[in-house]
């Protein structure tokens, strides 16, 4: 095991009996431990309302690791000895006193230099309360470092996000706050920077002289499942666009940083988000469309429409699909539309980025513009991770005709077992103090400022055509018009063997 003091810490998980901790956090911590990324000088405190003992908590951790299909070593019991449980009331001062006493004892037991991570894996309405109580009761008064990990949603609009940020900043500085976006932990999202800045065949072409449009699709085949209560107040715009989608746009559009440091990379992302062209309320319908899924067939099974899901208003006007056209007003991207779409109950689970290059001014191998096939760079985020390049090649035979040829590199095919899960990577980043793949407040603020214009227009109008797309489809037909008006179309996410127009 490594003994560097950088990875000696106590991790406090608020909401340790919840689904996020069980599915993501405990397996991720175990993987880091197995790989030596987390020294033996660590402890995990689970804090939640349930009256559990340490043994009950440890059994729950062991079960979550086994259900995650991780290969469990014989040292599992030694690992579990680092886990302790505390029944916790977030509004009770005594709970914080007990927490501080427990952490102090664990620091001594495991020789931890008072380094502490506080992970908010619970309802966001308690984030500010917990942060203020941690400071008021001396839990953050240490000789080591303190770091706070915040899960989304970070507010539900700009005003609430600003209020939450102000509350957190009462107890933590900006460089101590790690706003987690699990998309930024995905291998191929992190690979966007490498693809751009480490390859001479791409970066010189990464501008409006050579790229005609960029498309980002993040589709899910599942519906809202058991999240109906939350989702009906959030919708696809807040749940996906404000964070995941705009983060990918920023990575694709940012200028090359001077150095690969957290500050430089964040600065360039912020500049890209600042260059997003704002819309007036009257322009929203020209740039964005919304949808809601109805009944349909998914995997040969008939599924309910959104309004028939549990904990959903039968007359809900909440969108489960969003498509939009983004314009970035800077020298590099002037005239290049960025198209995004995301939704529930679509054809399949897939996240892909398609960069479409401009056609040659005169292509000798095509008789008409309609026959031209553009070159494409496809970045596969999930479920398969990799890159595809679509070129034009000669058809085999005597005709002299051409057809598109797709060259594939599959990153996840190389070593699926050892590919780190997003939460594992981000937890490790937080432990070592690397905030590059976490969201800065300025990014959050700019994203909400952009999205709020759309959400206010939609909240003040009632769609008359909901539901407007069948489950199992790629969304409402009106989303196609966004691209058709510019002479483009959505590239398919399912059958990539045929990329003809």
Catalytic sites, residue numbers: 244
Query: Burial, 202: exposed, middle or buried (Cβ in 10 Å; 0-12, 13-18, 19+)?
Result: middle
CA-CA distance, 210 to 260, in Å (whole number)?
26
Query: Burial, 162: exposed, middle or buried (Cβ in 10 Å; 0-12, 13-18, 19+)?
Result: middle
> In Å, how far from its chain's centre is CA 463?
28
Q: How far is CA 24 from CA 6, 57, 216, 351, 378, in A?
A: 23, 16, 25, 20, 28
CA-CA distance, 465 to 210, in Å (whole number)?
39
Quick one: CA dihedral 458, 460, 465, 470, positive or negative? positive
* 179, containing H or E segment: strand 177-179
Q: How many residues does the chain have?
A: 501
DSSP 48-67: ESS---HHHHHHHHHHHHHH
> In Å, how far from its chain's centre is CA 460?
28
Quick one: CA dihedral 267, 268, 269, 271, positive or negative? positive
Q: Are 319 and 268 in contact (CB under 8 A)?
A: no
Query: Burial, 364: exposed, middle or buried (Cβ in 10 Å; 0-12, 13-18, 19+)?
Result: exposed
CA dihedral 228, 234, 238, 240 (to 10 degrees): 0
Three-state secondary structure call for residue 310: coil
What Rg, from alpha-carbon coordinates, does the chain have? 24
> In Å, how far from its chain's centre is CA 443?
14
Q: Are 176 and 435 in contact (CB under 8 A)?
A: no
Two tokens at 458?
């939609």
């Amino acid at each position: 095991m490594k003994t560097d003091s950088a990875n000696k810490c106590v991790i406090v998980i608020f909401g340790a009996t919840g689904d996020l901790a069980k599915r993501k956090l405990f397996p991720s911590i175990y993987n880091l431990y197995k790989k030596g990324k987390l020294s033996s000088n660590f402890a995990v405190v689970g804090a939640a309302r349930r009256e559990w003992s340490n043994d009950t908590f440890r059994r729950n951790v062991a079960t979550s690791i086994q259900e995650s299909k991780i290969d469990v070593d014989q040292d599992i019991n030694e690992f579990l000895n680092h886990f302790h449980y505390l029944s916790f009331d977030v509004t009770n001062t005594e709970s914080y006193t007990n927490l501080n006493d427990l952490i102090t004892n664990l620091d001594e037991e495991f020789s931890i230099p008072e380094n502490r991570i506080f992970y908010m894996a619970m309802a966001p309405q308690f984030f500010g309360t917990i942060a203020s109580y941690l400071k008021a009761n001396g839990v953050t008064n240490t000789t080591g470092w303190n770091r706070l990990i915040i899960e989304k949603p970070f507010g539900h609009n700009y005003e609430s996000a600003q209020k939450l940020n102000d509350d957190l900043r009462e107890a933590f500085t900006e460089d101590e706050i790690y706003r987690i976006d699990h998309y930024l932990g995905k291998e191929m999202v992190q690979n966007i920077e490498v693809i751009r800045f480490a390859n001479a065949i791409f970066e010189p072409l990464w501008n409006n002289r050579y790229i005609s449009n960029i498309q980002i699709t993040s589709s899910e085949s599942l519906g809202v499942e058991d999240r109906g209560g939350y989702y009906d107040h959030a919708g696809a715009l807040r749940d996906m666009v404000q964070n995941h989608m705009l983060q990918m746009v920023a990575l694709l559009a940012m200028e090359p940083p001077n150095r690969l440091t957290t500050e430089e990379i964040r600065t360039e992302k912020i500049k890209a988000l600042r260059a997003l062209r704002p819309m007036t309320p009257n322009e929203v319908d020209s740039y964005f469309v919304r949808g809601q899924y109805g009944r349909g067939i998914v995997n040969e099974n008939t599924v309910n429409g959104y309004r028939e899901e549990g904990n959903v208003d039968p007359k809900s006007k909440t969108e489960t699909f969003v498509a939009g056209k983004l314009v970035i007003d800077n020298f590099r991207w002037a005239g290049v539309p960025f198209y995004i779409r995301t939704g529930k109950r679509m054809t399949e689970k897939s996240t892909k980025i398609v960069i479409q290059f401009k056609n040659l001014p005169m292509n000798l191998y095509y008789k008409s513009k309609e026959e031209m096939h553009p070159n494409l760079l496809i970045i596969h985020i999930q479920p398969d991770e990799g890159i595809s390049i679509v070129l034009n090649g000669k058809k085999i035979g005597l005709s002299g005709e051409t057809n598109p040829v797709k060259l594939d590199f599959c990153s996840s095919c190389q070593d699926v077992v050892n590919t780190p899960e997003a939460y594992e990577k981000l937890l490790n980043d937080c432990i070592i103090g690397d905030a590059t793949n976490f969201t800065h407040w300025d990014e959050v603020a700019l994203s909400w400022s952009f999205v709020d214009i759309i959400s206010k227009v939609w909240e003040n109008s009632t769609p008359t055509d909901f539901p407007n797309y069948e489950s199992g489809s790629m969304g409402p037909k009106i989303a196609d018009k966004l691209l058709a008006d510019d002479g483009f179309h959505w590239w398919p996410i399912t059958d990539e063997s045929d990329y003809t127009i």
